[in-house]
């Protein structure tokens, strides 16, 4: 992508209304534009990041055997009247009336709708277990939308729903989700710690939130410091094996880690003092087992192997997809801007031409651009007439993991410079070696 033809409205000034660094950087890097309180447009650079986050979430969901669907954003109120949540949900729900005076709503979550789909099409234990998920926009009329996409009113969520014939089977689905979430966040370069939490309006008493530690997080959390040493890594887990999933859950949830809603000061005090930690965290996901809370009132029944009709056991599992864009920046930035982890970066690398219009510089940049693009690694090529300092500042701000700098001085000896955004380390090499290096980093060598 040539910057001269792209749409990257970076801001020189720091926006005064943005209180946290990720919000400031998203505005300055031209990733988002606020359209109303808590409602954002995703500009090209932000949209690329959002799509990358979505892609990882999709891949990891499907790896765990979950099936993608797409439900609408607007829902009829009757489903929510059936479950009893229409009144219970309160002013956070955006209620809409259509031209026929029918009560509708912009979905804050989809337990009711998926239960309706299930009861229409499934009636036997033979069709279970089943997990359906989608990645769809939600609306919650939050009292205090703030921090940009972190607490929006309209936001993108991955929400998955599990259906099982028994509590035991449903708990396997819960454990499997916990494992797949650990893997999902780690792939994005994030450490998200499962913590015992409160279930709020979703219901049930089996729930964990996933928290990314950050000073700007909205949740206060208490944990045993040993927990931050745990890594999921590249374990090869059989998601269909309840014992393997349970073992991972036990490993990651046996130490004390709780949000303030479930904090137990006495239990916390029993951890050796030097391991007690109080911090703030960003909730990037939450999983719930709530049994028959929706299936019972909505009549979602299945026949068991013994021929008995029982309400199906359900759970729901959410990932804050748009919030993750902010959380990733909170966890990956320095005083010059964003430092994207490679998996989610909007472009794998940038090319800076230090002397636009110089035949040699231009043709080397074009060649690198073409060769990387041909390998599926489309770079962002700054082919504008800006001075070098401004080009470097913009590249640092938008945080592409790698930069290839092409200038007349280096080309005299046949080299370009490859620089890591994270470490700042630079290395000179031939243009061909630079392409090979980037391809190698991204596994396209
Ligand atoms: C689980 C999936 C649910 O809604 N029903 C379907 C369950 N859970 S949740 O915890 O309420 O939300 C899931 C995740 O969505 C993100 N999130 C938000 N992101 C941005 N702005 C908001 N206002 C917002 N509210 C929730 C969080 O990451 C949360 O964990």
CA of 288 to the centre of ligand 1 (A): 11
> Measured between alpha carbons, how far is 344 from 263 in angstroms, rounded to an integer?
33
Residue where a domain stops, chosen among 287, 318, 337:
337
Distance CA 58, CA 135 (A): 8
Question: Quick one: average pLDDT of 110-136?
Answer: 98
* Count of C-beta atoms within a 10 Å radius of residue 41: 11
- Is there an atom of ligand 1 within 6 Å of 188 CB? no
Ligand 1 and 337: CB distance under 6 A:
no
Place of tokens 């490679």: 342
pLDDT (mean) for 115-135: 98
Ligand 1 neighbourhood includes 207 CB (under 6 angstroms): no
- Asked whether residue 146 falls in the same domain as residue 230, the answer is yes
Helices (H), 13-110: 21-28, 44-63, 77-83, 85-88
pLDDT at 327: 98
Residue with tokens 């719930």: 288
The three-class DSSP label of residue 199 is coil
Q: Is the CB of 134 under 6 A from ligand 1?
A: no
Average of per-residue pLDDT across 156-169: 98
Q: What is the CATH number of the domain that holds 246?
A: 3.30.930.10
The alpha-helical segments, DSSP class H, found in 226-385 are: 242-253, 265-269, 295-298, 321-331, 359-374
In tens, the pLDDT along 22-80 reads 999 999 999 999 999 999 999 999 999 999 999 999 999 999 999 999 999 999 999 99
The reply to whether 225 falls in a domain is yes
Contact 81, 145 (CB under 8 A): no
pLDDT band at residue 354 using 50, 70 and 90 as cut-offs = very high
Check: CB of residue 346 under 8 Å from CB of residue 337: no
pLDDT score of 16: 83
418 beta partners: 404, 427
Tokens, residue 252? 């990651």
Same domain for 372 and 301, yes or no, is no
**Rounded Cα gap, residues 397 and 427, in angstroms:** 21
Is a pLDDT exceeding 90 seen at residue 14?
A: no
| Phi, psi of 195, rounded to the nearest 5 degrees | -130, 145
Say if ligand 1 is within 6 A of residue 315 CB. no
Give the pLDDT mean for 114-124.
Answer: 98
Tell me: pLDDT of 15 over 90. Answer: no
pLDDT value of position 12: 86
Determine if ligand 1 sits within 6 Å of the CB of residue 109. yes
Kindly tell me if the per-residue pLDDT of 203 is higher than 90.
no
The owner of tokens 């309209």 is 154
The first and second tokens of residue 55, run together, are: 């892609």
Same domain (yes/no): 432, 389? yes
Give the pLDDT confidence score for residue 118 in this predicted structure.
98
For residues 156 and 145, give the distance between their C-alpha atoms in angstroms, rounded to a whole number: 14
Q: Which of 337, 370, 392 is the last residue of a domain?
A: 337
Residue 312 is given by DSSP the state: P
pLDDT of residue 166 exceeding 90: yes
Are 131 and 268 contained in the same domain? yes
Read off the pLDDT of residues 178-191 as tens digits, 9 standing for 90 and up: 999 999 999 999 99
Residues 290 and 388 in one domain: no
pTM value is 0.97
Return the pLDDT at 204: 81
Instruction: Quote the number of domains for the chain.
Output: 2
- Pairwise CA distance, residues 90 & 362, whole Å: 60
Q: How many residues does the chain have?
A: 445
- Predicted pLDDT at 202: 83
Atom of ligand 1 nearest to the CA of 157: 15
Domain extent, residue 105, equals: 3-337
Ligand 1 pocket test: which of 37, 318, 325 has the largest number of ligand atoms within 8 Å of its C-beta? 318
Token pair recorded at residue 63: 């790896």
Strand pairing of 154-164 and 219-224? unpaired
Give the pLDDT score at 92. Answer: 96
Distance CA 271, CA 264 (A): 12
Q: What is the largest CA-CA distance in the chain?
A: 81
Would the pLDDT of 287 be above 90?
yes
Boundary-marking domain end, from 337, 360, 389: 337
Please report whether residue 342 resides in a domain.
no
| Same domain, yes or no: 310 and 395 | no
Q: What is the CA radius of gyration of the chain?
A: 24
Q: Please count the other Cβ atoms lying within 10 Å of the Cβ belonging to residue 237.
A: 18
Average pLDDT over all residues of the chain: 97
355 Cα to the center of ligand 1, angstroms: 47
Residue nearest to atom 12 of ligand 1 (CA): 318
Q: Are residues 248 and 128 in the same domain?
A: yes
Cα torsion 18, 19, 20, 23 to 10°: value is -20
pLDDT in tens, 288-317: 999 999 999 999 999 999 999 999 999 999
pLDDT at 243: 98
Residues 432 and 374: their CA atoms lie apart, in Å, by 14
Q: Are residues 431 and 406 in the same domain?
A: yes
Same domain, residue pair 117 and 186: yes
Residues 195 and 292 in one domain: yes
CA neighbours closer than 13 Å in the CB half-sphere of residue 155: 29
> What CATH number is given to the structural domain containing 407?
3.40.50.800
Do 333 and 425 have their domain in common?
no
How far apart, in whole angstroms, are the C-alpha atoms of residue 79 and residue 94?
15
CB contact at 8 A, 433 and 369? no
Q: Is residue 88 one of the residues assigned to a domain?
A: yes
For the CA of 288, the nearest atom of ligand 1: 1
Q: Is 438 in the pocket of ligand 1 (CB under 6 A)?
A: no
Mutate to test the pocket of ligand 1, among 108, 218, 320 (most ligand atoms within 8 A of CB): 320
Q: Is 157 in the pocket of ligand 1 (CB under 6 A)?
A: yes
| pLDDT given for residue 17 in this prediction | 84
Q: Distance between CA atoms of 134 and 61, rounded to whole angstroms? A: 10
Does residue 216 lie in a domain region? yes
Q: Is 283 in the pocket of ligand 1 (CB under 6 A)?
A: yes
pLDDT at 297 (0 to 100)? 96
Pair 271, 359 in one domain: no
């Amino acid at each position: 992508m040539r910057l001269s033809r792209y749409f990257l409205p970076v801001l020189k000034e720091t926006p005064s209304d943005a209180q946290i660094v990720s919000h400031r950087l998203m505005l300055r890097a031209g990733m988002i534009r606020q359209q109303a309180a808590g409602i954002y447009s995703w500009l090209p650079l932000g949209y690329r990041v959002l799509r990358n986050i979505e892609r990882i979430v999709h891949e990891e969901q499907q790896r765990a055997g979950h099936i993608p669907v797409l439900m609408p954003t607007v829902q009829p109120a009757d489903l929510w009247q059936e479950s009893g949540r229409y009144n219970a949900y309160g002013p956070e729900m955006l209620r809409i009336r259509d031209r026929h005076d029918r009560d509708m709503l912009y979905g804050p979550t989809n337990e009711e709708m998926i239960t309706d789909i299930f009861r229409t099409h499934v009636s036997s234990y033979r069709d279970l277990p089943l997990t359906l998920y989608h990645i769809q926009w939600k609306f919650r009329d939050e009292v205090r939308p703030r921090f940009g996409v972190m607490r929006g009113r309209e936001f993108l969520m991955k929400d998955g729903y599990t259906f099982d014939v028994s509590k035991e089977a449903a708990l396997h689905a819960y454990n499997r989700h916990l494992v797949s979430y650990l893997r999902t966040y780690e792939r994005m370069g994030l450490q998200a710690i499962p913590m015992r939490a409160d279930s709020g309006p979703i219901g049930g008493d089996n729930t964990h939130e996933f928290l990314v530690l950050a000073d700007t997080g909205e949740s206060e959390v208490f944990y045993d410091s040993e927990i931050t040493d745990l890594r999921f890594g590249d374990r090869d887990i059989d998601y269909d094996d309840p014992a393997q999933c349970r073992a991972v859950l036990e490993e990651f949830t046996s130490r004390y880690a709780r949000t303030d809603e479930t904090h137990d000061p006495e239990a916390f005090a029993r951890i050796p003092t030097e391991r007690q930690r109080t911090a703030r965290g960003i909730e990037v996901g939450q999983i719930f087992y709530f049994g028959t809370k929706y299936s019972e009132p909505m009549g979602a029944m299945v026949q068991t192997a013994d021929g008995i009709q029982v309400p199906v056991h359900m759970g729901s599992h959410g990932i804050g997809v748009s919030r993750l864009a902010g959380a990733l920046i909170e966890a990956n930035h320095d005083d010059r801007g964003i430092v994207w982890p490679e998996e989610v970066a909007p472009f794998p690398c940038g090319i800076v031409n230090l002397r636009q219009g110089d035949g040699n510089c231009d043709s080397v940049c074009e060649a690198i651009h073409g060769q990387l693009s041909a390998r599926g690694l489309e770079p962002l090529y700054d082919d504008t007439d800006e001075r070098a300092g401004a080009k470097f500042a913009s590249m640092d701000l938008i945080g592409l993991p790698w930069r290839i700098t092409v200038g007349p001085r280096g080309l005299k000896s046949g080299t370009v410079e490859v620089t890591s955004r994270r470490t700042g380390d630079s290395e000179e090499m031939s243009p061909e070696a630079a392409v090979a290096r980037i391809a190698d980093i991204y596994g396209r060598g």
